[in-house]
Amino acid sequence: MLGSGGSSIAGSQSLACAGGWFTGGGAGYTAAVRCAVNGLSLAASLLLSLPLVLSGQTKMHFGEVSQQWGIDFRHHHGGSGQWFMVETMVGGVVVFDYDGDGDADLFFVDGGSLPGYSGEPARSRLLRNDGRHFVDVTQRSAIRSDLYGAGGTAGDVDGDGDLDLYLTAFGANRLWVNHGDGTFHDGTAAAGVGESRWSMSAAFFDPDHDGDLDLYVVNYVDFTLDNHQFCGDRKRGIRVYCDPDTYNPYPDTFYRNRGDGTFEEATADAGLAREPGAGLGVVAGDLDGDGWSDLYVANDLTPNFLLHNRGDGTFEDLSLISGVAYSDRGFAESGMGVDVGDYDGDGDSDLVVTNYEFQTNGLYRNSGSNLFLDSRYIAGIAESSIKMLAFGVLFGDFDHDADLDLMVANGHLNQQVAELTPGSRYEQPHQLFENTGSGRFKLTETAANGLAGVKVSRALAVADLDRDGDQDLVVVNSNDRAEVYENLAGAESGDWLQVELAPAGSAPGGVGARLLAAAEESGAKWQLRQLLTARSYLAQSELVAHFGFPPDADAALKLEVRWPAGRQVRIEGLQRNRRIRLVER
């Protein structure tokens, strides 16, 4: 996150224009109005000279249905014009089947009240899915909105068969333990996971294969209401949210599950005590195919982390040598959202990271042996993202053509950004990139894809909310109503397979499992999925593996599953257009 030149406008950083690009790090990009190229600001010249790659035709089409489905959530940042940094960063959602009835429920994470705020009180909400209709069950659940919320993650921390909820916050985080009857209790103190620093994302995963879920918490910076600073241009009367480097970054925290739903802080013991980064996003998945969950952390104006699991639950830092710490130009970018997926279909897991405007979003193609190549320009997502400030991001096969498309939720930080940077906008459109099948993406037009929202978006999650076999989208918008987009592509777009896992004696919910699916025909290409908790930005998506296939009623499907503990199974003769649940024996 960059505060539209908060520190730069105030004169705390020296910038220089060199070769048409800024030197001096990420904050320089937001001060583009200070460097002129042929009478235009560099920002404006970039916007004019880089065309968008658009596709008028697409099989992907969505319709906004939040009101129709009874999903009525409005985020509150609790600001009162004092420009507290926290108010522009938050707004999360957790998609999880809290009642075990087989469909995806929604927990929206609201903000809170800051000094001087007198508006409607914030209220995080649990919405039960009753099949294309959602019911507010927050009061019955006993989950209280008594914190300034950021995001969250869900997992079965105590091994009792239902999903518990961990919420991050500006203040102490909370663990809500699921009783299995639709109610929860605050188990934070008993579990020992009450991180009190400003946390953003968090992920449950099983890095040591001991059958329970550990917890990685991504912490941001040491901003408080007491050390709040003025950032902006006093002479012009322009105030902005401060850059993250105005404050010191916090180190992240790792909690190891003792096996009974209580945790011990084990950051140093796991090899995760390192130079802190201003963390915003995290994904915990197997990046090198060795069967052990690694960590990738998106940091804001500090290098991103790739923390490789050695195979014993401890980690080594491969951030620099892996090629994913910096941009292709050698800068630490403003990493926010992150996801993992095999977008080029070569059988390994690639990484996508959202960044600030004029940086472009990052796409790191896995070339094996923990080495990644920055492929944002080759893959065609860089030019289209250069004037966007992106947060949520997800891979998904939204048109069932057997490759992963890319969805990005955008929105600026400062309301008056157009005054500071010509060509920039506060409210920004969503972007849906269609995979061409050749390792490249093309940006689809809003008129064609139906994603008409122009908002200040933060969290993004995906789930088959209506159980019709395709992937729907949930978007949380800062200080605004959430959007829910039903996938309207229909059966004509292709076939599908959805897989739920119930492991025996390993990570509950199948977290960390690796799945491969293909048609039963000679030469059919395998598709790779992983079951992961945290993805995107301040969000968790449905714990279901979703595969798309070109339509072929006569061709059965085959599936290979590597369970979280390492056991592998292969199943053949599967019918298309089914959701199946596999139970490990």
- At 240, which amino acid appears? V
Nearest to 347 by CA among 516, 222, 232: 516
CA separation for the pair 67, 65 (Å, rounded): 6
Report pLDDT for 1. 53
User: Could you count the other beta carbons within 10 Å of the beta carbon of residue 268?
Assistant: 10
The span from the first CA to the last CA of the chain, in angstroms, equals 46
Report pLDDT for 491. 62
CB 218 within 8 A of CB 255: no
- Describe the chain by its helix, strand, coil percentages, rounded to 5: 10, 35, 55
Task: Find all residues with CB under 8 Å of 268, minimum gap 6, and list them.
Answer: none
Number of residues assigned to the chain: 585
Q: Where are the beta strands (DSSP E) in 310-445?
A: 315-317, 338-341, 350-353, 362-366, 372-374, 390-396, 405-410, 428-429, 431-435, 441-444
Task: Find all residues with CB under 8 Å of 154, minimum gap 6, and list them.
Answer: 94, 96, 98, 107, 163, 164, 165, 166, 204, 533, 540
Question: Cα 537–543–549 angle (5° rounding)?
Answer: 100
Report pLDDT for 158. 96
- Per-position DSSP letters for 43-111, written without gaps between them: HHHHHHHS---EES--S--EEE-TTTTT---B------SS--GGGGT--EEEEE-TT-SSS-EEEEE--
264: helix, coil or strand?
strand
The pLDDT averaged over each successive group of 10 residues in the chain (585 residues) is: 38 28 30 28 35 60 97 97 97 98 97 96 97 96 94 97 97 97 98 98 97 97 97 88 96 98 98 96 97 98 98 96 94 97 97 96 96 97 96 97 97 90 92 93 94 97 97 98 94 89 88 97 92 98 97 92 94 96 91
Report pLDDT for 27. 32
Please name the residue that has the structure tokens 């994302």. Answer: 201
pTM of this structure? 0.91
CA separation for the pair 580, 498 (Å, rounded): 6
- At 440, which amino acid appears? R
Strand partners, 296: 283, 306
